[in-house]
Amino acid sequence: MILWAFDHQDIKRLLRFRLYEDDELPRHVLQNRNADVVSGFLASLLPAELGMFPLELSHHDKVEEILELCQLRTVPVEPWRWHPNYSYNAEPRTIASYIDVESSRQFQAVPFEDWIRYALGYPTESIQWFFSQHKQLHDIVSAHLDLFPGDEVPDQSNQWVVGYIIRPIQELFKAHLTGLPSMLKKLSVLALSFERKYRTSAEIDWSAPFDANPAYLNDFFAFREVEPLARKLTHIDAKEFSSLSVQSFVEDTAALRSLSGRWHLLCSSTEECCRALPEMATFFKSCICVRIDI
């Protein structure tokens, strides 16, 4: 079990994603671990500017400090802010835009880590709040449409969320067979992908479900040695380039767009891996060196 192991990064990632039903479990385990182990783990988490003061805490307080540093802080919830304005006749597109902005705000308030917990069946307050706010939207719109007999009341089901993000996460866990430490690393990378697509993006594409199983990420984790990965990437490039011609670049053909999109995915996946797992930068540098020699 990771909480009883000695890899600080694995423990940190497990505490971050909380892949356990009982939130008291890590507290109980860490309180019962060797004092030197707990002190060493805390020291690995502390920024240099804090100095040694936290290491002088009691064993109990060190455990609490570890949990504070590794786990997400609860984000204050905000109620749904959009309501129909009866004082003017806004265009349907304008109303839809207001609702989309508010939906995006509510969705972006939910951390990726909470979607993981909810997808695995663990109680998650932020998701319940998110659903309650969309239930409120349904009630607002229904009350408004009641003023106009004949208009259809929209479905209040949350099934769109299941297909949009929950099911992709569940399928990821079903397909992953290489152990919890590897899964935690993959989740750390996917968290950056989620951040880029949904939390920092100017506009959310509600028609494109979250890709929890990108091809390149699987390759990066599947190959333990550099050379097999380098050879696979080189083979794919050679195959795609063989279908191109000078005219492909002149006319911007589908084949060229496919290659460009694949390279963009490769670049973004590599960047996210290096940001989430800095130790992988050396792996990728070695892969580049091997590809040059192939």
Among 169, 243, 183, residue whose Cα is nearest residue 218? 183
Q: What is the pLDDT along the chain (294 residues), one digit of tens a residue?
A: 899 999 999 999 999 999 999 999 999 999 999 999 999 999 999 876 666 666 788 999 999 999 999 998 777 778 888 877 765 566 778 888 888 888 888 899 899 999 999 999 998 999 999 999 888 888 887 877 777 776 565 665 677 888 899 999 999 999 877 789 999 999 999 999 999 999 888 788 888 899 998 878 888 988 888 999 999 988 888 888 887 777 777 777 787 888 888 888 899 999 999 999 999 999 999 998 887 776
d(CA 239, CA 268): 21
Contact 174/212 with Cβ under 8 angstroms?
Answer: no
